[in-house]
Amino acid sequence: MICSGIVLGAIRGDPASVLSALTDGADNSMKLILSLCGSYLLWMGLINVANRAGLTEKLAKLMRRPLSLLMPNIGEAAAPIALNLSANFIGLANAATPFGIEAMKQLSVQNGRKTTASKEICMFLALNASAVELLPTSVIAVRAACGSADPYSIVLPTFISSLFAALAAVLTCKCFEEIKG
């Protein structure tokens, strides 16, 4: 990706902007981590409280069966995956990311810490791309700010379409699993 960008930048005769884009991108990673840091610490702390109280174990037991239909080799990741999907569902992006990171770490343990993604990791990543959300709060806020007569009119179509997107994610992953094994 970097190489193709540099080549294209050179063809367009604007190497300076390539360099500034590289620095900006790397700069963004620091900002992203900082913006993530607080909520990650908070939610990981709370998860550990739930861990000690035996709650995550219960959640994992409950969710293992339905989730293992999608991801057969789910192991310890069932609880964080369930938390990630439900946080996304109620529109808590800040909480969803920490749970997602935790889920990925568990899936990676299950995968033998290999650098190549397992079937389960691909399925989880694809599912996360479909953004199944009850209330897309940020879009509603922008619509209200832009003087919409009915900012909520998009809730139902958005919800329906994200369900189809999730379905497409599952089916595509299953197809790729068949082809690539």
Partner 1 sequence: MSYIVPFGIFLLLGYAAIKGVDCYDAFIEGAKEALPTLIGLLPNLAAMLAAIAVFRCSGVDAQIACLLASILEAIGIPKEISSLIILRPFSGSGALAMLSDILNRYGADSFIGLSASVAVGSTETIFYTLSIYCGAAGVKNARYALPAALISGIVGILCGIAALRLVLPV
Nearer Cβ to partner 1 (59/68): 59
- Rounded to a whole number of angstroms, the minimum distance from the CB of residue 68 to partner 1 is 19
Q: Which of residues 37-66 bind partner 1 (CB under 8 A)?
A: 37, 40-42, 44-55
Whether the CB-CB separation of 107 and 77 falls below 8 Å is answered with yes
Instruction: Choose, by CB under 8 A, the member of 71, 105, 112, 178 that binds partner 1.
Output: 105
CB of 72 to partner 1, least distance (A): 17
| φ/ψ of residue 114, rounded to 5 | -80, 160
Restricting to residues 5-24, name those near partner 1 by CB under 8 A.
5-6, 8-9, 12, 17-18, 20-24
Q: What are the b/e assignments for 59-69, b being 16+ CB within 10 Å?
A: bbeebbeebee
HSE-up of 89 (CA within 13 Å, CB side)? 8
Note the Cα 67 to chain centre separation in Å. 16
Number of residues that bind partner 1 (CB under 8 A): 96
Chain positions 107 to 146 lying near partner 1, rule: CB under 8 A, are: 107-108, 111, 113, 115-117, 121-122, 124-126, 128-131, 133, 135-136, 138-139, 142-143, 145-146
Neighbouring residues of 89: CB distance < 8 A, sequence distance ≥ 6: 132, 133, 134
- Of 118, 121, 124, the closest CA to residue 181 belongs to 118
Site string for partner 1, 66-95 (x = CB under 8 A): ------------------------x-x--x
